Structure 1
Amino acid sequence: MSPDELKALFDQQAAHYDAQWAKTQPIRSCLHLLVDAAFAELPADARILCVGAGTGAELAHLAQRNPGWQFTAVEPSGAMLQVCREAAKRAGFASRCRFHEGYLDTLPTAAPFDAATCFLVSQFILDAAERTAFFQGIADRLKPGGVLASSDLASDVTSPEYEVLLRAWMNMMAAADLSPEAVDRMRKAYAQDVGVLPPQQVAAMIAAGGFEKPVPFFQAGLIHGWWSTRR
């Protein structure tokens, strides 16, 4: 799927995105709880980069718990970013946010960040070199020692374990009120449009992109998460 096609897809989903995934909220809540631990030692006035911010779930979580932090939300889908912006206004922290519509490479590298989040984003980059360069782009915008909390769908798709996890994952999607047609489209997308790789390969790409050895800190079904610090 090309960047323009991906942007158009999320533009179409923006208005109903949060409602569609409401029943999978426990996964996000657990991920956010662990990110709190990863970011616990950041300064009171930390600057946080949210890459692929979407509708702003992690931004809202972090902003509500850290009243002195400043945020830059990077999101190529204008419709998703608008939902994020409106949610920040309603919650009263929009004045601490910068909303940047575009891909990460359009964001200047000046004024480095203390930490970054990047949840379920790099999986859409199918070319290995481009995916590594994406992580390098995050590293370039972090201070030395800056923390990255990232997650992606990850598994060895050639293994018997993947079939077990995929079946359970699709059952969960069906229980989250996705139609059988939507679940079938998702299964096909995982095979064609999503770079589902073994976790160790994703970790290697993060490291090659300018980070110390990533530390796995989270798994929920097919979602794996890593903590990394910029070299």
Structure 2
Amino acid sequence: MRNEELKDLFDQQAAGYDKQWAGMAPIRDALYLLLDSLFAGLPENARILCVGVGTGAELAHLAERFPGWHFTAVDPSAAMLDICRQRATEGGFLPRCNFHQGYLDTLPAEPSHDGATCFLVSQFLLEPQARIAFFHEIARRLEPGAILANADLASDVESPAYEALLRSWMTLMSSAGVPPEALQRARAAYARDVAILPAQQVAGLIQAAGFEAPVQFFQAGLMHGWFCTLTPGISRPCDRTQSI
């Protein structure tokens, strides 16, 4: 799916997005619980880059948990970012937020962040080199030693395990109240617009962008989460595609 198509899709879904996925909140909350422990050692005045922030769920969680932190919220969807801004206003942490509508490559490349979140974003980049370049753009905006927490759908789609996990994942979404039309869109997207790769391969793409070897800290069905630190002296992505 091209950038503009993806932006238009999320613009259309923004108003009902949180309600549509409310039933999946236990998975999100488990991810955030572990995220707290990963980020606990960051400075009291840390700056956090939230890539593809959407309606701002993880930003709101971190803002409440760490009241001295400041956030850069990046998303190409103006509609999503408007809801994120409203959430920040209602939560009282708007002054700690900087909102940037656009893709990451339009954000000034200053290594000024102590950590970054990127949840269910890179999976929409179908080409491995584009995915490496995306993670490298994150790296360029982080301080040396900063922590990246990333989550994506991952599996070996050629294996019997994927079919079993996919059935279970769809059943889970259905029981969580996700509408049938949304389930149909998701199943079609997984086959056409989402790069679902083996977990080890996703970790390799992140490492190829200049991060230390990612550590998987989370899995719930098809969703996997990794954390890693930025290698000091990162300047450009390494060409490791032959080994990925």
Q: Percent identity?
A: 63
Counterpart for residue 117 of structure 1: 117
Shift of 1:177: 2.1
Residues 173-211 of structure 1, C-alpha deviations (whole Å, 9 max, x = no match): 111223333312211110100000000110000000110
Counterpart for residue 13 of structure 2: 13
**One-letter identity of the residue aligned with 2:9:** L
CA distance in 2, matches of 1:166, 1:32: 23
Counterpart for residue 200 of structure 1: 200
Residues 129-155 of structure 1, C-alpha deviations (whole Å, 9 max, x = no match): 010000001111111100000000000
CA distance in 2, matches of 1:177, 1:83: 22
Counterpart for residue 92 of structure 1: 92
Counterpart for residue 40 of structure 1: 40
CA distance in 2, matches of 1:111, 1:224: 26
Counterpart for residue 58 of structure 1: 58
Q: RMSD of the TM alignment (CA)?
A: 0.8
CA distance 1:181–1:16, shift in 2 (3 Å): closer
Shift of 1:77: 0.3
Residues 36-95 of structure 1, C-alpha deviations (whole Å, 9 max, x = no match): 010010000000000000000000000001111000000000000000000000000000
**One-letter identity of the residue aligned with 1:130:** A
Indicate conservation of the 8 Å contact 2:156/2:162, yes or no. Answer: yes
Does 2:153 align with 1:158? no
CA distance in 1, matches of 2:61, 2:72: 14
Indicate conservation of the 8 Å contact 2:117/2:150, yes or no. Answer: yes
Q: What's the TM-score, normalizing by structure 1? A: 0.98
SS at match of 1:35: helix
Indicate conservation of the 8 Å contact 2:110/2:140, yes or no. Answer: no
CA distance in 2, matches of 1:180, 1:118: 27
Shift of 1:113: 0.4
CA distance in 1, matches of 2:113, 2:179: 40
Residues 15-53 of structure 1, C-alpha deviations (whole Å, 9 max, x = no match): 110000001000010000101010010000000000000
**One-letter identity of the residue aligned with 2:126:** L
Runs of 4+ in 1 over 6 A off after TM superposition: none
CA distance in 2, matches of 1:8, 1:176: 25
Does 2:121 align with 1:108? no
Indicate conservation of the 8 Å contact 2:111/2:140, yes or no. Answer: no
CA distance in 1, matches of 2:111, 2:153: 30
Q: Counterparts in 2 of 1:106-185, with a 5 A limit? A: 106-185=106-185
Shift of 1:111: 4.8
CA distance in 2, matches of 1:117, 1:85: 17
SS at match of 1:218: strand
Aligned residue pairs total 231
